[in-house]
Amino acid sequence: MIKYHLLWLFIFSSFHSYSQFPTDVYLEEWATGITLPTEIINAGDDRIFVCEKTGVIKIIGADGQVLPEAFLDISDKVASDHEQGLLGMAFHPDFTNNGWFYINYTDEDFHNNIVRLEIDASNPNKANRDSEKLILKIDECAFTLHHGGCLRFGPEGYLFIAVGDCGFSNEAQELDSFLGKLLRIDVDNGDPYSIPTDNPMYNTTFPQEIWAMGLRNPWKFSFDYDNRNLWIGDVGYQTYEEIDFTTADNTSLPNFGWPCYEGTEEDQIGFSICDEVDIQDLIFPLGGYNYDSCLSCGGSITGGYVYKGTSELLQNTEAYIYGDYCNGKLYSTYLQDGQYETVEIYDNNFVLDNISTFGENNLGQLLVADIVKGTIYKIHLDCRLPDIEVKVASCSLSEDGCVEIITPSNGGILSTTLKDGNDIIIPESEYCNLTPGIYILETVNMDSQCSMQTTFEVEVFEPRIDIIRASCSIVEDGNVDICISQAVSDDFGYYIESDGGDLIDPISYSNLLPGYYNMIMDNSSPACMDTFDFYIPFDQDFFPVSLTNGVLMVEDNYESYQWFISDTFSFNYGDYRIIENAIEPSYTPLESGFYLVRATDVDGCEHYRRRNGELMISSIDQVLVNKKISLSPNPVIDELIISFDCMTEQKILLTVYNISGKKVFSEEIDGVNESHNHSLSTADLEAGTYMISITSNSCNASSIFIKE
């Protein structure tokens, strides 16, 4: 929850130019209206076939228009939760003559089904759904994770099948399992297939389909048929997203190391299977990039293709283009001076955000899909375009959003024009006075006869503040993790204050009590300051606090206890005062108020708990009555049913307080002489935690509910 927006930063959402990469990159929106695209394939003509996660295959014409009728719809057979769905597709090398194609989909039992279908004999834009023939069922996975799913025919015409580890990491090194492997089968011989005689497991007691091992989730892989190279994008765990590389001629059981290695980092978990793995037998990544722990989805590599297009700037190098599902960036691992280098070549979340798959058309033009937007873009790698460098000028709104356009000296730039979201041209004199919003840079390049529009956004600076609440044996409660994924100055700093303005010692940042706090930015140059408030919530796993015969009681299996009281309701533990000598698991209230107990376990971890429905004791007489409120459902969305036991004929006041103790709703209801149910609309309440209070002259009770 942001208190103030004093600092505006320009966040450059387009490509970053790297001088060593031969060309710049821009994207052209080509096709829209796809639902959750997972695969892009061509059949050797100008049509593009796109798999949708839910089990539908659509055709896109050369003009980028999606044909109105689906090529295939098997959505009734496909389970598409989480990482399941229609995951892969490949056309038989002789598709022109036999009309065969293969798909890989998951069913409701979590099994991967690799099946063959045929084209409709009377309609080339329609598959014969009834022609489905099961080639291979992979039934080892019992979860929705890491199914792999990619299908590709290798240079020899054999079908390669990527299988993820299903979350069972050690299975990637077990030769009696398909999990974490690349399989290779001959679909032209045998029924439904045979094993190529040069498969490394041929004529062994292990599954003979296995061709490579040591993979975590090889979501996409592809072949460079010119030199028979195989490129695999294998999704990392928490360190490295890797590009694995070998050749189609390698029949010595390529082992890419997982889980014994992630990238080049040795296993930190201690899998026993790794004791049997010889490092000399492993193939380490050819390229990749580090996992970004600053993102909620830190990294998930999406493998691509070696570029085979018409760009003159890339004709003398081998450039493998790929991306990341989580950060939306494009990367290239390419050959330069005999060495493979990895660089980031495109970063524009406003255009491309969740990269699910790549593809090629019949001319070698690279395509990329955004799974959330349902959009497919053409990747252009044949243009020299300007870089954009952004500098934070000042915290004052009149000087924020400064943008400097730098054109390469050899780029042959004819013109650059900057426009706002309303297509209004911005004069160069205002380039250091951009307010938050969407902007478009139009560029025309004389040398390569190309032009483009680069969209970027000037946005509010909003750091993500994570509150880690874990066991004390792992990390102290209330640990604050402040993650800055946006551009900041080199001297960026911050400190934390309590909601009352008290400065918190940095050594206490790992042990903050529940309540409100302020993270305050403090930069000396430029002199800017901003404040972001955050809240450390109560633990949701309340241990019981009972009220029996006038005595408050908690579990007696903790090392020590301390009871607290407050005259007014508050979600901040610091507002409660200590009750002297109240250090037992039970306490008899001596005054009205709101009660709280702290229990300390054997590890020294402090737990603060309160009992729903018995949080408030408004009088000593009430202790003996033990009034109750029941709330249903809890958490609630639109309507809360309140059941309370108040035997009175007087008016009853029902009040709702938000997490800061502010009253957000109040109404009087008629008293009754028996248990009473009351309906309360919660549709207009914001998501969060609330307290509800029932009061009259002879009835007082309260409880907490959560609005989703």
More confident residue, 527 or 339: 339
Tell me: do 54 and 198 sit in the same domain: yes
Residue % of the chain over a pLDDT of 70: 78
Task: Give residue 12's pLDDT.
Answer: 33
Q: What is the pTM of this model?
A: 0.66
**Residue 131 CB: number of other CB atoms within 10 A?**
15
Task: Name, of 3-12, 21-30, 363-372, the range with top average pLDDT.
Answer: 363-372
What is the enclosing helix (H) or strand (E) of 97?
helix 95-98
Distances (CA, A) of 385 to 29, 75, 93, 312, 487: 18, 43, 38, 15, 22
* Residue 475 in domain: yes
**Residue 331 CB: number of other CB atoms within 10 A?**
26
Tell me: do 62 and 121 sit in the same domain: yes
Tell me: do 274 and 152 sit in the same domain: yes
* Residue 347 in domain: yes
Final residue belonging to a domain, choices 361, 383, 405: 383
Per-residue pLDDT band at 703 (split at 50, 70, 90): confident
Task: Give residue 238's pLDDT.
Answer: 85
**pLDDT single digits (tens) 83-102:** 999 999 999 999 999 999 99
Task: Give residue 636's pLDDT.
Answer: 85
**pLDDT single digits (tens) 171-189:** 999 999 999 999 999 999 9
Mean pLDDT across 685-704: 74
Number of domains in the chain: 4
Task: Give residue 118's pLDDT.
Answer: 98
Q: What is the CATH number of the domain that holds 396?
A: 2.60.40
* Residue 5 in domain: no
Q: Are 547 and 513 in contact (CB under 8 A)?
A: no
- CA 678 to CA 664: how far, in whole Å? 18
Tell me: do 369 and 409 sit in the same domain: no
- CA 86 to CA 80: how far, in whole Å? 7
Tell me: do 334 and 259 sit in the same domain: yes
CA proximity to 437, closest of 417, 419, 454: 419
**pLDDT single digits (tens) 420-475:** 888 899 898 888 777 777 888 887 765 445 666 777 777 666 666 776 654 444 33
- CA 532 to CA 332: how far, in whole Å? 37
Tell me: do 499 and 361 sit in the same domain: no
* Residue 34 in domain: yes
Task: Name, of 51-60, 329-338, 377-386, the range with top average pLDDT.
Answer: 51-60
Q: What average pLDDT does the structure give for the chain? A: 81
* Residue 166 in domain: yes
Q: CB under 8 Å to 683, separation ≥6 — which residues?
A: 637, 638, 639
Q: Are 240 and 262 in contact (CB under 8 A)?
A: yes
CA dihedral 51, 52, 57, 60 (to 10 degrees): -80
Tell me: do 438 and 500 sit in the same domain: no
Q: Are 383 and 448 in contact (CB under 8 A)?
A: yes
Q: What is the CATH number of the domain that holds 636?
A: 2.60.40.2550
Per-residue pLDDT band at 46 (split at 50, 70, 90): very high
**pLDDT single digits (tens) 190-206:** 999 999 999 999 999 99
CA proximity to 563, closest of 551, 577, 549: 577
Mean pLDDT across 291-299: 79
Tell me: do 90 and 116 sit in the same domain: yes
Final residue belonging to a domain, choices 383, 415, 448: 383
- CA 240 to CA 536: how far, in whole Å? 31
Distances (CA, A) of 338 to 246, 334, 460: 16, 10, 44
Tell me: do 247 and 273 sit in the same domain: yes
DSSP label at residue 572:
-
Task: Give residue 7's pLDDT.
Answer: 28
Tell me: do 451 and 372 sit in the same domain: no
Per-residue pLDDT band at 645 (split at 50, 70, 90): low
Residue 207: give the domain boundaries: 18-383
Per-residue pLDDT band at 153 (split at 50, 70, 90): very high
Per-residue pLDDT band at 661 (split at 50, 70, 90): low
One DSSP character per residue, 490-511 reads TT--EEEEETTSPBPPGGGTTS
- CA 506 to CA 419: how far, in whole Å? 44
Tell me: do 434 and 482 sit in the same domain: no
**pLDDT single digits (tens) 219-272:** 999 999 999 999 999 999 989 999 999 999 999 999 999 999 999 999 877 788
The tokens describing 90, both together, are 């490949």
* Residue 530 in domain: yes
**pLDDT single digits (tens) 519-570:** 877 654 344 456 777 777 655 444 567 776 677 888 788 889 999 888 776 6
One DSSP character per residue, 360-403 reads E-TT--EEEEETTTTEEEEEEEEE---EEEEE---SSGGG-SEE
Task: Give residue 672's pLDDT.
Answer: 55
Task: Give residue 589's pLDDT.
Answer: 83
C-alpha torsion sign, points 505, 508, 510, 512: negative
Q: What is the CA radius of gyration of the chain?
A: 31
User: Quick check: helix, strand or coil at residue 520?
Assistant: strand
Looking at the chain, the number of H-run helices and the number of E-run strands are 2, 52
Task: Give residue 394's pLDDT.
Answer: 38
Final residue belonging to a domain, choices 383, 405, 430: 383
Mean pLDDT across 359-380: 95
**Residue 445 CB: number of other CB atoms within 10 A?**
22
One DSSP character per residue, 599-660 reads EE-TT--EEEE--TT-SEE--HHHHHH---EEEESSSBSSEEEEEE--B-SS-EEEEEE-TT
* Residue 567 in domain: no
* Residue 434 in domain: yes
DSSP label at residue 213:
B
Task: Give residue 523's pLDDT.
Answer: 56
More confident residue, 505 or 648: 505
Task: Give residue 417's pLDDT.
Answer: 85
Angle at 177 between CA 173 and CA 179, to 5 degrees: 75
Tell me: do 429 and 527 sit in the same domain: no
Determine phi and psi for 275, rounding to 5 degrees: -65, -20
Q: What is the CATH number of the domain that holds 293?
A: 2.120.10.30
